[in-house]
Amino acid sequence: METKEPLREDAIKYWPRHERPRERLLKQGPEALSDAELLAIFLRTGVSGRSAVDLARALLQRFQGLRGLFSADYRELRAVKGLGDAKIATLLATIELSKRYLREQLDARRAVRNPDDVYQLLAHSMRDLHHEVFTVLFLNSKNEILAIEELFRGTINASSVHPREVIKRALQHGAAAIICAHNHPSGNPEPSPQDRQITRELKEACRLMELSLLDHLVVGHNRYWSFAEHGEL
């Protein structure tokens, strides 16, 4: 059950109209509002003793900003007083839509020119995960993206990443080249010995099938490590 906002004089509905977040957004535009005010519009109601803006500020403080909030899972959100299943479901759906929008915007340029292009394309969906994922970009002969797929998740090591599956998907997409990427939840993108072993095995599998392995990126917090840039491909 969602907690209903009590009839209190400090509830947003009792604020002067020119101070209410929703009215300010419609009149001044969303860029005029703070993160807390924008989040309050989404939350709609607060909890006993706190307006929606108060609750929004508390959420941002608890999760250390929007990035932390957007990477929180259901269990972490459910522990917050005032966030019921309806609010959480709407928040998670909104976050996922924003991720898909960003990917669609970046994917629209299609061609991959350098490792930073790959990082910008994948960072928003990989860098804050609490588990590892292994993603592959399938490219044509012009380095244009044919598809992006998450193929493996969990602990990424030589026994969990299967080169034959990567090659199989590449052939199904008619790809001429691939770029692989996986994240380090620790935030440190320095490759491990296992990462190097995976890269060697993928490079050899690609060579046998006349595919090009253009790069393997390790994504950390706000930075990445590129095997191609470091001359290890």
Read off the pLDDT of residues 16-69 as tens digits, 9 standing for 90 and up: 666 677 788 888 888 888 888 888 887 777 666 677 888 888 888 888 888 778
Is the same domain home to 139 and 221?
yes
Lowest mean pLDDT among 5-9, 99-103, 208-212: 5-9
Is the same domain home to 115 and 94?
no
Is the same domain home to 148 and 92?
no
Is the same domain home to 138 and 64?
no
Burial of 128 (0-12, 13-18, 19+ CB in 10 A): middle
Residue with tokens 């977040």: 21
CA distance linking residue 53 with residue 50, whole number of Å = 8
CA distance linking residue 167 with residue 169, whole number of Å = 5
Whether 6 shows a pLDDT value over 70: the answer reads no
Domain boundary (102, 130, 163) is at: 102
CATH number at residue 176: 3.40.140.10
Is the same domain home to 168 and 114?
yes
Domain boundary (62, 82, 102) is at: 102
pTM as predicted: 0.58
Please provide residue 145's backbone torsions phi and psi, each rounded to the nearest 5 degrees. Answer: -75, 125
What is the domain range of residue 79?
12-102
